[in-house]
Amino acid sequence: MTERLIVVLGDQLTPQISSLRGGDKERDVVLMCEVWEEATYVRHHKKKIAFIFSCMRHFASELRKEGWTVDYRTLQQTGRSSSFTGEVHGAVLRHEPQRIVVTTPGEWRVLQDMRVWPERFKVPVDIVEDDRFVCSPAEFATWAEGRKQLRMEFFYREMRRKTGLLMDGDGPVGGRWNFDRENRKAAKPDLLMPRPLRFTPDTITQKVLSLVAERFSNHFGDLEPFWFGVTREEAEQALVHFVTTTLPRFGDYQDAMLEGEPFLYHSVLSIYMNVGLLDPLDVCRRVEAAYRSGQVPLNAAEGYIRQIIGWREFVRGIYWLKMPDYVEENYFGHRRTVPEFYWTGETDMACLGAAIGQTKREAYAHHIQRLMLTGNFALLAGVSPQALHEWYLLVYADAFEWVELPNTLGMSQFGDGGVLASKPYVASGAYIKRMSNYCASCRYDVAKPYGPDACPFNPLYWAFLDRHREKLAANPRMAQMYRTWDRLSDERRSLTLASAEVFLDKLDADTSPEKAAPAVDSDDIADTIVRLCTERGQGKTLCPSEVARALVDNDDQWRDLMPDVRRVAGTLAAQGRIRVSQAGKLVDAASARGPIRLSLAPQKKSRSRFS
């Protein structure tokens, strides 16, 4: 009989991961599974699925070489309706383990599913901490407690002290914690650009590429050329390549953007760190060593280390501190759907065309493109942070909810009202012109403030500030912008606002009706829930997606309606008209994460069954 069934997920590909550490190669079985639900709960970029599946298959063979018994289930074996829970169930039947061990997943949704496993499988489940981070969620919560504001810079100093990275006794090396002032140079096209290391797909990767091409052809993005590393050795080579060729200028050009240069001086290592092929702390130590041996300047080393032990750790702390409510936050009440061109890359705006085009090709855009191009535009245009969150989660190969959600909803959309950022990251075309060379080849004129040829970022920027004055004017960091806006003539202001409106109307008209966010009345949702539950019959359940699909007759729209269906279901449950359950237990529709089921409220005599 198997002692432990050790479940290893697609972003837990670290031989020393906590779930494996206490394991026994003679008596335990490792379960790894490619499952449909993980690949499709958002329609991930084809390259991302291929990357994860190939890394998983290589990791399984690495574990087998080390003597582990691995029960690896390919997508061909698990099939179209597979999920983690279904696969673990199958493995429990096959191996009859005495307990299940798994490292805490990176998504709240998956953790909620796991919490049901003990009762479902009648086997104890140890969900052990993911200690591949410098700061645990508990430590972050302690740090955050009692603070009026959570600011990365102060958290980062703590992490420097804790790790000893770039420390000189009790103080920072070089006398300053942060060398960002030196890191805002605009890149010149004639600079000699390094490129991330590329790898040729081996036979395992080639098989995965065929699988993804066959099964996920309707997903976003280009599958090939596929050049990501998929093993620990390849990730290590990519790290060495970065430190020796690219890191020296990472700091200088961290905020720059350049036409035809998707990677600039960025490391393209997040994919490897996020799935577990590189240890983030080890990466930082190697960067520090490069500084201490004189290979790279301090502004580069400090800037890079701050991204990892500062931002990466900080956003994870926020995620676990604020979930599950965080994902629903929408400070500005933005409702617009993701513009059509975010899916096609076809736009006259040269900067966005470049960022989205490379996102399609590479499943990668660097930070400033994500923040100041696609993020900035979406915020100015009033795109729903939830819709945008889904977009970012599916388009980037490094996107896992713990890191993507706080960056999107918090940093980029200010959807949390300032938990993560002290002010919205919004900018007009002037910023983009300063930091890039996109404007030179754009059909729009970055110098024009309004009118049909004006750079759309310009009127949208002022219209955004004007629209949200009540929420933003009191923020001291925004005061100067409001003063500038108020100094403009009435005529100039109204021409600017009109220009923004014309642009947004056109944006809406260009968004295909299939993708437009459905507007369905709450009463209609309530009627449909009750009707479908009644049709299904007493004691039978249905999925909220069935309600959403019944309300909109389009394959893409129903997802956008899901938050509303859950909200209305919660109201109906509070009124005692229906019940909302998860794995047979009554739950609160608003706070429950993971799949819920709806059913008619039981008649009085059967009510005791659930009490």
Which chain residues interact with ligand FAD by CB under 6 A?
266-270, 273-274, 304, 307-308, 311-312, 315, 366-367, 370-371, 375, 392, 396, 398-399, 403-404, 407-408, 411-412
Q: How far apart are the C-alpha atoms of 380 and 422, rounded to whole Å?
A: 17
* Segment interacting with ligand DLZ (CB under 6 A) among 7-15, 160-168, 225-233, 576-584: 7-15
Residue 444 binding ligand SF4, by CB under 6 A? yes
Which of 133, 140, 457, 503 is close enough to bind ligand SF4 by CB under 6 A? 457
One-letter amino acid for residue 375 of the chain: G
Using CB atoms within 10 Å of the CB of residue 162, give its burial: 0 to 12 exposed, 13 to 18 middle, 19+ buried.
middle
Distance CA 463, CA 505 (A): 14
Site string for ligand DLZ, 390-409 (x = CB under 6 A): ----------x---------
Tell me: does residue 44 bind ligand DLZ (CB under 6 A): yes
Quick check: 357 and 407 in contact, CB under 8 A? no
Site residues for ligand DLZ, window 168-187 (CB under 6 A)?
none
Q: What is the DSSP string of 199-252?
A: ----HHHHHHHHHHHHH-TTSSS---S-----SHHHHHHHHHHIIIIIGGGTTT
d(CA 111, CA 459): 43
Say which entry of ligand DLZ, ligand FAD, ligand SF4, none residue 166 contacts (CB below 5 to 8 A, set by partner kind). none
Match 């400090």 to its residue by tokens. 302
| Interface size with ligand DLZ, residues (CB under 6 A) | 16
- CB nearer to ligand FAD: pick between 44 and 73: 44
Regarding 155 and contact with ligand DLZ (CB under 6 A), the answer is no
CB of 506 to ligand SF4, least distance (A): 14
Peptide bond into 137 cis (omega under 30): no
432 binds ligand SF4 (CB under 6 A): yes
Short-list 46, 353, 359, 370, CA closest to 220? 46
Closest separation in Å from C-beta 402 to ligand DLZ: 7
Among 18, 28, 38, 196, binds ligand DLZ (CB under 6 A): 38
Binding mask 118-157 for ligand SF4 (x = CB under 6 A): ----------------------------------------
Select from 583, 550, 577, 582 the least CA-distant residue to 565: 550
Strand partners, 599: 579
Question: Residue 272 or 400: which CB sits closer to ligand DLZ?
Answer: 400
**Least separation in angstroms between CB 440 and ligand SF4:** 8
Question: Applying CB under 6 A, does 315 fall inside the site for ligand DLZ?
Answer: no
Window of 60-68, 455-463, 468-476, 557-565 that interacts with ligand SF4 by CB under 6 A: 455-463
Question: Residue 477 gets which letter from DSSP?
Answer: G
**Cα–Cα distance measured from residue 422 to residue 411, given in angstroms and rounded to the nearest whole number:** 9
The contacts of residue 187 (CB under 8 Å, 6+ apart) are 253, 256, 257, 258, 261, 264, 265
Which range, of 165-173, 272-280, 344-352, 542-550, touches ligand SF4 by CB under 6 A?
344-352
Distance CA 11, CA 402 (A): 12
**Could you give the 3-state DSSP secondary structure of residue 363?**
coil
In the list ligand DLZ, ligand FAD, ligand SF4, none, the entry touching 439 (Cβ below 5 to 8 angstroms by class) is ligand SF4
| The pairing of beta strand 4-7 with beta strand 99-103 | parallel
CA 103 to chain centre: 20
Answer for which of 152, 209, 442, 589 binds ligand SF4 (CB under 6 A) is 442
DSSP state of 175: G
Using CB under 6 A as the binding rule, whether residue 349 contacts ligand SF4 is answered as yes
**From the list ligand DLZ, ligand FAD, ligand SF4, none, partner contacted by residue 35 (C-beta under 5 to 8 A by kind):** ligand DLZ
What lies within 8 Å, CB to CB, of 273 at 6+ separation is 279, 280, 283, 308, 312
Q: What residue 337 binds from ligand DLZ, ligand FAD, ligand SF4, none (CB within 5 to 8 A, per partner kind)?
A: none
Choose between 270 and 428: whose C-beta lies nearer to ligand FAD. 270
In DSSP notation, 65-83 reads: HTT-EEEEE-HHHH-TT--
| Only segment of 94-102, 305-313, 348-356, 548-556 that touches ligand SF4 (CB under 6 A) | 348-356
Q: Which does 412 bind (CB under 5 to 8 A by kind): ligand FAD, ligand DLZ, ligand SF4, none?
A: ligand FAD
311, 136, 101, 345: which is closest to 222 by C-alpha?
A: 345
How far the first Cα of the chain sits from its last, in Å, is 38
Residue 455 touching ligand SF4 (CB under 6 A)? yes
Q: What is the smallest separation between the CB atom of 230 and ligand DLZ, expressed in angstroms? A: 14
Task: Indicate whether 13 belongs to the interface with ligand DLZ (CB under 6 A).
Answer: no
CA angle 540, 542, 548 (to 5 degrees): 155
The partner in contact with residue 496, picked from ligand DLZ, ligand SF4, ligand FAD, none with C-beta cut-offs of 5 to 8 angstroms by kind, is none
**Toward ligand SF4, which CB reaches closer, 92 or 373?**
373
Task: Give whichever of 7 and 135 is closer to ligand DLZ, judged by the CB atom.
Answer: 7
Peptide bond into 406 cis (omega under 30): no
Please tell me the distance from the alpha carbon of residue 182 to that of residue 201, in angstroms, as a whole number: 39
| 9 contributes a contact to ligand DLZ by CB under 6 A | yes
Using the rule CB under 6 A, is 166 a contact of ligand SF4? Answer: no
Residues lying near ligand DLZ in the complex (CB under 6 A) are found at 9-11, 33-35, 38-39, 44, 49, 52, 105-107, 110, 400
Residues lying near ligand SF4 in the complex (CB under 6 A) are found at 349-351, 429, 432-433, 438-439, 442, 444, 446, 455-457
